[in-house]
Chain A
Amino acid sequence: QVQLVQSGAEVKKPGASVKVSCKASGYTFTSYYMHWVRQAPGQGLEWMGIINPSGGSTSYAQKFQGRVTMTRDTSTSTVYMELSSLRSEDTAVYYCARLAGGMDVWGQGTTVTVSS
């Protein structure tokens, strides 16, 4: 079955970077774009960016430009989201989600906590 499995929870200090992975299975990895979406505690969903696993092209939300990098490894069917210069406001659950007529499959989420 189609599945996205994300890496485990992270605790980081302000100023550090975090890299979250999202491993896809059950479908042709390069055939579907992948979104990254985050949700701060008690807040709504926020779109961060999108990557084309086929060519690696990306598009980021302006808010994260310069701080976020999305990459992929086609040999392992994995996409990555790295966020740098972390601050407390980046504490959130980060999700990957496949783009297919809406975001049809979601990862389980990765909790990133930024605390000194």
Chain B
Amino acid sequence: QSVLTQPPSVSGAPGQRVTISCTGSSSNIGAGYDVHWYQQLPGTAPKLLIYGNSNRPSGVPDRFSGSKSGTSASLAITGLQAEDEADYYCQSYDSSLSGSLYVFGTGTKVTVL
């Protein structure tokens, strides 16, 4: 089971701002490990959206931003667009004996109204 918890869904109208939370624990996000975010469009492989908590790879619009605080992280999408409708996953490293060194969030479906 995932050790990073995300809301199952969020929605917003075009142009609005939405945020997705990613809640972890002291063995992953709270231990200082980086959080990365991925966007998965229907039927495609995930794409790296944010790395190292708040950095955007080349080509990712600045509408996407990431932050981290304590045992949680957040992804914000400002100026929501129709093409942002996708599943989003956070990911980090885990130092506990949970059985998985790298862990993903439960995933959040973003719907553009």
The distance from the CB of A99 to the nearest CB of chain B, in whole angstroms, is 9
Which of A45, A104, A108 sits near B51, CB closer than 8 Å? A104
Rounded to whole Å, the gap between the CB of B68 and the closest CB of chain A is 13
| Known interface pairs A61-B99, A107-B45; A44-B104 also in contact (CB < 8 Å) | yes
Contact B100–A62 (Cβ < 8 Å)? yes
A95 interfacial by beta-carbon distance below 8 Å: yes
Contact across chains for A103 and B99 when beta carbons are under 8 A apart: no
Give a binary string over B76-108; 1 marks a CB under 8 Å from any A CB, 0 the rest.
Answer: 000000000000010100000011111111110
Interface size on A, residues (CB 8 A): 21
Q: What residues of chain B lie closer than 8 Å to A44, measured between beta carbons?
A: 2, 89, 104-107
Q: CB of B64 within 8 A of chain A?
A: no
Would you call A50 an interface residue if the criterion is a C-beta within 8 Å of the partner chain's C-beta atoms?
A: yes
Main SS at interface, chain A: strand
CB pair B51–A102 under 8 Å, yes or no, is: yes
Contacts of B36 in A (CB 8 A): 101-103
B46 at the interface (CB under 8 A from A): yes
Q: Are A45 and B107 in contact (CB under 8 A)?
A: yes
Q: Check A46 against B104 for contact (C-beta < 8 Å).
A: yes
**Closest Cβ neighbor of B51 among chain A residues:** A102
- B residues less than 8 Å from A95 (CB atoms): 45-46
Partner among A59, A62, A103 whose Cβ is within 8 Å of the Cβ of B46:
A103
What is the interface of chain B, defined by CB distance below 8 A to chain A? 2, 34, 36, 38, 45-48, 50-52, 55, 57, 89, 91, 98-107
